[in-house]
């Protein structure tokens, strides 16, 4: 089902907001947001987000569908849940952002994101195969340098602060990469998954 597009002649058209309330995971509680900013202030990468969750929610109310679904805010959530536990109105912010990202994909607002995602998926799969888990540093490293050496260094430097914040909020660690215990089993599972995918084709 597509989100109802807002009436372009009307600022603060509520059709989009009402769609979000009713169809987005956790959207029901979005009505309760009182714009205090605890979420955007809690976010380890809040500074890197174009709007941050708080303002994004106001934009939903304002009917700014396109701006919301093309926002980087919905893609950048690292699921640390700091905003969720601190939200004084118990809005499940993480769920809402993730499901808005799904909506953006469904409605085709993700062209740029798609190309980007392919690079990221590659890095992710490499880490999963090697360690049985994601190592944030290596995944982002491979992902960044997939754009070329210069761009990779630029991206790496530009995101130092995020890295620091992620370490602080225990979303990233220092030291040797950890591997899971039963790496072999995981690799068997991945191989099986590949086999199924090969058999049925993409999009299974």
Partner 1 sequence: MSDKPKSQTVLVVGGGIGGISAALEAAECGAEVVLIEKAPTLGGRVAALNRYFPKMCHPTCGLEINYQRIKKNPRIKVFTMAEVSGISGSKGDYTVTVTTTPRHVTPACTACGDCAKVAASEVADPFNYGLAKMKAAYLPHAMAFPMRYVVDPSVVGTPEGQAIKAACKVEAINLDEKPESFALQVGAVIWATGWKPYDPKNLTMYRHGEIADVITNVEMERLASHDGPTKGHILKPSSGEAPKKVALIQCAGSRDLNHLAYCSRICCLASMKHAAYVREQYPEAEVDIYYIDIRAHDKLEAFYQKAKADPGIRWIKSKPSRIEKGASGEPVVCGENTLSREVYANAYDLVVLATGMQASAQPPAGAQLDDYGFVVSEEGVFGAGVATGPLDVSMSVQSATAAALRAVQAVRS
Partner 2 sequence: MEKKIGAYLCKGCGIGEALDFKALEGVVTKEFKKPVKSHECLCGEAGLAVIKADMEAGEVTLPVIGACSPRVMTDRFMFPGMTPIRANLREQVIWSHPAGDEDTQMLGEDVLRMFMTQATKVNSPVPYTEGEFSTTILVVGGGFAGLTAAREAVKAGHDVLLVEKKATLGGHAASWSAIVPSKPPYHDPETNPLPKLIEEVKASSAIRLVTGATVTKTSGMPGKFQVELSDGSSHTVGAIVLATGFRPYDATKLSHLGYGASPDVVTNVEMEAKLSAGKVHTHAGAAPKSVAFIQCAGSRDPNHLPYCSSVCCSVSLKQAIQLTKADPDVMVYVIYEEMRTPGVTEEFYRAAQEAGVIFMKGKASKVEGRHGITVTVADELLQQDVPLGPLDMVVLATGMVPNSTDPDAPAQEYGAELLNADINPYPTEGDYKPAASAPPGGSLLNLQYRQGPHLPMLADGFSDSHYICFPYETRRTGIYACGPVRRPMDMGEAHEDAMGAVLKAIQVIRNAAEGMAVHPRAGDLSYPKINLNACTKCRRCTVECPFGAIDEDEKDYPVVNPTRCRRCGTCMGACPVRTISFDNYTVEMLSSMVKAVNIPDEFDEKPRILIIACENDAYPALDMAGIAGHQYSSFVRILPVRCLGSMSALLISDALSVGYDGVVLMGCKPGDDYQCHFVKGSAMAKERLSKISDTLKSMQLEVERVTMVDASIADSARLPKVIDELVAKIDAVGPNPFKGF
Sequence-separated (6 or more) residues with CB below 8 Å from residue 94: 77, 79, 81, 83, 84
Nearer to partner 2, 12 or 147 (CB): 12
Q: Which two tokens mark 176?
A: 């040797």
**Backbone φ and ψ of 149, nearest 5°:** -65, -50
> 150-172 burial string, b = 16+ CB within 10 Å, else e?
eebeeeeeebeebbebbeebebb
d(CA 157, CA 75): 20
Residue 62 interacts with, from partner 2, partner 1, none (CB under 5-8 Å by kind): partner 2
Does 62 sit near partner 2 (CB under 8 A)? yes
Shortest Å, Cβ 47 to partner 1: 5
User: Angle CA(186)–CA(187)–CA(193) in degrees, nearest 5?
Assistant: 90
Does 158 sit near partner 1 (CB under 8 A)? no
Does 85 sit near partner 1 (CB under 8 A)? yes
From residue 22 to residue 41, what is the string marking binding to partner 2 with x (rule CB under 8 A)? ---------xxxxx------
108: phi > 0 → left, psi -120 to 50 → alpha, else beta; which?
left
Candidate residues 7, 47, 79, 188; the one interacting with partner 1 per rule CB under 8 A: 47
Of the listed pieces 15-23, 100-108, 131-139, 145-153, which binds partner 2 according to CB under 8 A? 15-23
Does 66 sit near partner 2 (CB under 8 A)? no
CA 90: distance to chain centroid? 20
Nearer to partner 2, 35 or 102 (CB): 35
Q: Which two tokens mark 92?
A: 């499940």
Residue 52 interacts with, from partner 2, partner 1, none (CB under 5-8 Å by kind): partner 1
Shortest Å, Cβ 112 to partner 1: 23
| Contacts with partner 1, residue ranges (CB under 8 A) | 34-43, 46-47, 51-52, 54-55, 82-83, 85-86, 88-90
């Amino acid at each position: 089902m597509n989100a109802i597009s807002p009436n372009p002649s009307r600022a603060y058209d509520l059709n989009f907001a009402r769609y979000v309330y009713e169809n987005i995971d956790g959207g029901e509680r979005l009505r309760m947001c009182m714009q205090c900013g605890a979420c955007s202030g809690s976010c380890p990468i809040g500074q890197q987000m174009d709007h941050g969750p708080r303002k994004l929610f106001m934009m939903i109310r304002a009917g700014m569908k396109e701006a919301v679904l093309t926002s980087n805010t919905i893609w950048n959530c690292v699921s640390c849940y700091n905003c969720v536990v601190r939200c004084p109105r118990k809005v499940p912010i993480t769920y809402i952002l993730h499901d808005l990202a799904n909506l953006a994909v469904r409605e085709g607002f993700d062209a740029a994101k798609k190309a980007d995602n392919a690079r990221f998926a590659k890095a992710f799969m490499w880490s999963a195969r090697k360690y049985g888990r994601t190592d944030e540093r290596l995944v982002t490293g491979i992902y960044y340098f997939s754009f070329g050496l210069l761009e990779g260094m630029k991206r790496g430097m530009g995101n130092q602060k995020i890295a620091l914040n992620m370490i602080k909020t225990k979303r990233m660690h220092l030291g040797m990469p950890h591997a899971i215990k039963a790496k072999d089993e995981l690799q068997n599972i991945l191989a099986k998954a590949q086999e199924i995918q090969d058999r049925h084709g993409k999009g299974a």
